[in-house]
Structure 1
Amino acid sequence: MPAAIRTVSAAAAAGLGLSGASYFYYRKQAQPESKEKEIQELEYRDSRPFTLLDPTEIDTRLRSGQIATTVQQKYIKAIYTNRLPSNNPTEDNYSVNTLAGKLFAGVYDGHIGPDCSRLIRKQLPIYVGRELKKEIPKTTNQVQEAITTAFVDLDQDIQQRFYDLFPKNLSRVTEKDVQNATRQHAHPEVAEMHIKEAITGSCACSVYIDGDNVYAANTGDSRVVVVRQEENGTWTGRRLVEEQSPAHPAWRVHMISQHPSNEANNIVQRNRIFGLIAVGGSFGDIMYKVPREYQIKVLPFIPYEIYSTFARYHHRIVVNYRTPPYLQSKPLVSHYKLSKGDRYIILGTDGLWDELSWDNVRSENGDQVAANLMSAWPHKHERNPATHMIREALLYDAVYKNVGQRVPVSNETLEMSKRLTRTPSRRYRDDITVTVIELDMENETPAPKDLLDVGPVMPVEEAEVDQARLAKPPKASWLSGWIWSRL
């Protein structure tokens, strides 16, 4: 006897949702005929209200952030991006630039607020381009070292601008001294922005493409995957660089090894640093990087609007804080040689990968799922592959996290309505940002592509790498605040 599946009608479900009542999904699961076994009915209770959208409204919401970028570069047809907010304002950002004519693209997953990701969206291409321009790299290792240096320098400068606001000798600093650092600043709004950019945080995942050489760099838990079509017609997804996450066993061991053994049990709790932050590398997040004295002498007295973003759990940082920094921006970097069969490079913030492998976001299952989904493009109705990825990820399964279950989607309009309208949205999904680079390995100079219904189309912009650094580098160490506090 086949399994019977029953759902309430879309209209009825929406009515129930709007009234705040429960929405039920019932599944009858048939067991082999036996006197000892009977058909069991599983009930997944989902009491979260939602608004039923029509298909046109769903399309409008999904496509509102899509764009396409054109570039004249060997092996690259076009670059597509879409961003679907969950936070308000969205904390994700992205960039698509050229560095001396070579593509640099990145996605930036912010947290606590959007300020840090907005900053590195603009500055990271500049820092990478500046470093590559210093001495034209000739080897793969030199390119990787230049990218690594750029990531580290940018975060160093974000921190340095924060330290430069406050008195250097913390032994005699008072609450009023810290408050006056912004109140009496020549440009108080600029000083506050520098603090916000240091307090908020962001992951960064990027690719730099020079001919058939792809350099992937990752700080945090976003991901970049190359999608191939093999000669036998099958599709495969391969992660180009690993994630920096406390949930990743190897990275957790690495993080703990950077500190004395007596801290080992406190650094990572519930796959989070101090049980709080779920990334293992980031820009900003200065409360996990400052010298110990700043935790008590400075942070509680920065403008309250900013401090309130982490005040409720600041004590949990302080009680475990012994040998900072606990987060760094130094990325994991890899080199990949493009070859025949490579079709796409997908950059995605963790909001995408959570949807594709939510039971274990560190698993490689999501990489292959991404390849499977891209194998259906452009045969489905989305012309922008980044929008296609977001749509298909949200419809990959109906998720009932409250009972740890996911089941096939039986009503796409109903499921998408739930995914797009439940509030507060951040409780149910993250911001999702996806960039898809479409490749053509058969032609070194792909013909211009006719880009229709993909969102605004714009030519790629060259990053202005001749700009000065955000801050003057300290003479001794990027942890100059630690030195200054002891002067």
Structure 2
Amino acid sequence: MGSCLSAESRSPLPGSPSSPHLPNMRRRGSRKRLGSRNSSFDYRKEEPLHRIPGRLFLNGSSDVASLFTQQGKKGTNQDAMIVWENFGSRTDTVFCGVFDGHGPYGHMVAKRVRDHLPLKLCAHWEVSISSEDVLREISLNTAGSMNSEDTTFVSADEESRASVDLEETEKHPEIFQALKESFLKAFKVMDRELRMHANIDCFCSGTTAVTLVKQGPYLVIGNVGDSRAVLGTRDKDNSLTAVQLTVDLKPNLPAEAERIRKCKGRVFALQDEPEVARVWLPNNDSPGLAMARAFGDFCLKDFGLISVPEISYWRLSEKDEFIVLATDGIWDVLSNKEVVDIVASAPARSSAARALVESAVRAWRYKYPTSKVDDCAVVCLFLDSNSNNLSTAFNAKPKVQPTSMDQIDNDNEKDNNLAVLTSLDRSGTVRTGEEVLPGVNEDSSKQEEMNSELGIDWSALEGVSRVNTLLNLPRFVPGEEDKKAAGGTKARK
């Protein structure tokens, strides 16, 4: 229920060492980044990214997807999301992803990964496909006489080769092998670029990423961190069920904890939140990261934290209806089945993601009345654009979110002007209830005003009240402040 904990947000454990060297570690990392020549990207050079047709990253919807994110009560919204139709210029291919940033610069890391990881994945996928075509042609011309040494020029690097074995090659189609290799390379290059970036301090800031590529009936997922992907499908009795497609990569998993400890990192939970295992430096009670894999967080990369994605494959069937990608602000308060039922109960596809986020917010206030609501981001990908199974209203024409450059520039300007220059010891990588940045903790009414200005029609949400019945939650009156939210921080972020 949290991602990072700062060194000063609590007292050190009895007998634990102090942290005088941590600021020095940060300065050394910063000097290395500032001296890099490989981080010459600036925002103006990235403007064409926001004009790519079929690429959605703001609240809205298209024929096949619904997106919605809402800022919590802990500070600036550090969640990001994307749906990219016709991915790689393939009409049957879609890329989706959600990213949950953490730390003082987490919002910048999440958006950077959102904008650049898909491009890197697409580029490596093209290279992989071209390499396969070359190999196939050579194989035909040489009648199988080529040995392994002849193929090394198109082989994956050592990390990729180690992850692809003969059994998987026989079990999965070619698209999985090509995309698996591409995911591994893209994630590795993305993390390396973040380390060298001159304008984003990723030493104690990072992001999760759960991403997928759907091509026809094939689905390949790459995941780091504790965001999650869940499939809504029908069982043999035609009942809607939830299938979890990813594993939450947290330090409490035995394999993850073993790797971290072998690298001299420490894994333990605090006494006041025994259910949340965290990653700590060997000689310092910081930063307390609640995930075992992430982009960024370079203070822990020598101590067991990795950005290598867990990659999985799924062949879709006619019984599969939709996929939900969401950050942990959703999963901390809703079960997989509740999420699937809420999406299926939405009156229209265009409002499904928003219905889920608003249900999660109500669940936060009901289950954790003394905690501040977390940021939430949701992508709902519908697998059959002509299906009526989810709702009789799903045939209504959805509104497509405009992505004007004015909105992009304003969003970027606000991000860069945030008060993120606080010291590591003060802000660390946690957003507690007592340290909310002034001016960025906007209420939901301002979110509504922005949606109204952008022309989003959410009038189809009349049926969302059914969600309360599904969750057994009390009726929530829009605009009513949670009077109990002032005390405590049960779910630390």
TM-score (norm 1): 0.53
1: CA distance, partners of 2:364 / 2:238:
25
The answer to whether the 8 A contact 1:370-1:389 is kept is yes
Residues 404-443 of structure 1: matches in 2 within 5 Å?
A: 427-440=371-384
Question: Which residue identity is paired with 1:123?
Answer: H
CA drift of 1:279 comes to 1.3
8 Å CA contact retained: 1:451, 1:457 = no
Letter in 1 for 2:69: R
CA contact (8 A) 1:346 1:436 kept: yes
1:216 aligns to 2:221 (yes or no): yes
Counterpart of 1:115 in structure 2: which amino acid? M
Where 2:345 maps in the other structure, the secondary structure is coil
Counterparts in 2 of 1:198 and 1:227: CA distance versus 1, 3 Å? same
Does the aligned pair in 1 maintain the 2:329–2:360 contact within 8 Å?
A: no
CA distance in 2, matches of 1:154, 1:250: 24
Partner of 1:119: 112
User: Letter of the aligned partner of 1:451 in structure 2?
Assistant: K
Which of 303, 308, 318 is the matching residue for 1:330?
308
- Which residue identity is paired with 2:304? Y
Q: How does 1:138-149 map to 2 (within 5 A)?
A: 138-149=174-185
Structure 1 runs (4+) greater than 6 angstroms displaced: none
Give the equivalent residue in structure 2 for 1:29. Answer: none
Q: Which runs of 5+ in 1 are unaligned?
A: 1-64, 70-76, 163-190, 290-323, 357-365, 404-426, 460-487
Asked whether the equivalents of residues 79 and 100 of structure 2 are also in contact (C-alpha less than 8 Å), the reply is yes
**Which one of the candidate residues 177, 184, 189 is aligned to 1:153?**
189
Instruction: Using the TM superposition, give the Cα deviation of residue 450 of structure 1 relative to its aligned residue in structure 2, in angstroms.
Output: 4.3
- Aligned to 2:323, which of 345, 354, 362? 345
Q: For 1:212 and 1:119, locate their aligned partners in 2 and report how far apart those are by CA, in whole Å.
A: 29
**Aligned equivalents of 1:225 and 1:124: distance in 2?**
21
Q: Does 1:390 align with 2:390?
A: no
Q: Partner amino acid for 1:375?
A: A
Give the alignment partner of residue 134 of structure 1, picking from 104, 109, 127: 127
Q: What are the Cα deviations for residues 353-400 of structure 1, in whole angstroms up to 9, with x where unaligned?
A: 0121xxxxxxxxx22222222232327xx8511011112223347535
1:171-320 map, 5 Å? 191=198, 193-194=199-200, 196-197=201-202, 199-256=204-261, 258-259=262-263, 263=264, 266-270=266-270, 271-274=277-280, 276-289=288-301
Select which of 86, 89, 100 maps to 2:89: 100
- Matches of 2:403 and 2:216, distance apart in 1: 22
Q: In 2, distance between residues paired with 1:390 and 1:455?
A: 19
User: Distance in 1 between the 2:82 and 2:340 partners?
Assistant: 23
Q: Assess, with a 3 A threshold, how the Cα gap between structure 1 residues 400 and 222 changes in structure 2: closer, same or farther.
A: closer
Task: Answer whether contact 2:322 2:381 (CA < 8 A) is retained.
Answer: yes
Structure 1 contact 342–441 (Cα < 8 Å) conserved: no
The change in CA–CA distance for 1:400 and 1:351 in structure 2 (over 3 A counts) is: closer
Q: 1:451 aligns with which of 376, 380, 397?
A: 397
Which consecutive unaligned segments of at least 5 residues does structure 2 have?
A: 1-57, 133-173, 271-276, 388-393, 405-493
Q: Which digits, 9 at most, give the CA deviation of each residue in 1:421-448, with x for residues without a partner?
A: xxxxxx41211000000111878xxxx9
Q: Is the 8 A contact 1:115 1:197 kept in 2?
A: no
Distance 2:83 2:342 in 1: 23
d(CA) in 2 for partners of 1:402, 1:449: 38
Deviation per CA, 1:418-477, whole angstroms, max 9, x where unpaired?
xxxxxxxxx41211000000111878xxxx96434x562679xxxxxxxxxxxxxxxxxx
Give the equivalent residue in structure 2 for 1:91: 78
Task: Give distance in 2, aligned partners of 1:254 and 1:236.
Answer: 34
Distance 2:368 2:385 in 1: 41
Q: Measure, in 2, the Cα distance between the counterparts of 1:252 and 1:94.
A: 28
Alpha-carbon distance in structure 2 between the residues aligned to 1:139 and 1:208: 10
**Matched position secondary structure for 2:246:** coil
Larger strand proportion of the pair: 1
Secondary structure in 2 matching 1:134: helix
Q: What is the aligned length?
A: 280
The 1:147/1:267 distance shift into structure 2, 3 A limit, reads same
CA contact (8 A) 1:124 1:150 kept: yes
Aligned to 2:333: 355
Partners of 2:400 and 2:189 lie apart in 1 by 35
Tell me how large the CA RMSD over aligned residues is.
2.9
Partner of 1:303: none
Per-residue Cα deviation, 1:104-149 (whole angstroms, up to 9, x for no partner): 1110100013111111011100110111011216342232121121
Kindly report which structure 2 residues correspond to 1:19-98, keeping only aligned pairs within 5 A, or say none.
66-69=59-62, 77-86=63-72, 87-97=74-84, 98=87
* Alpha carbons 2:268, 2:279 under 8 Å: kept: yes
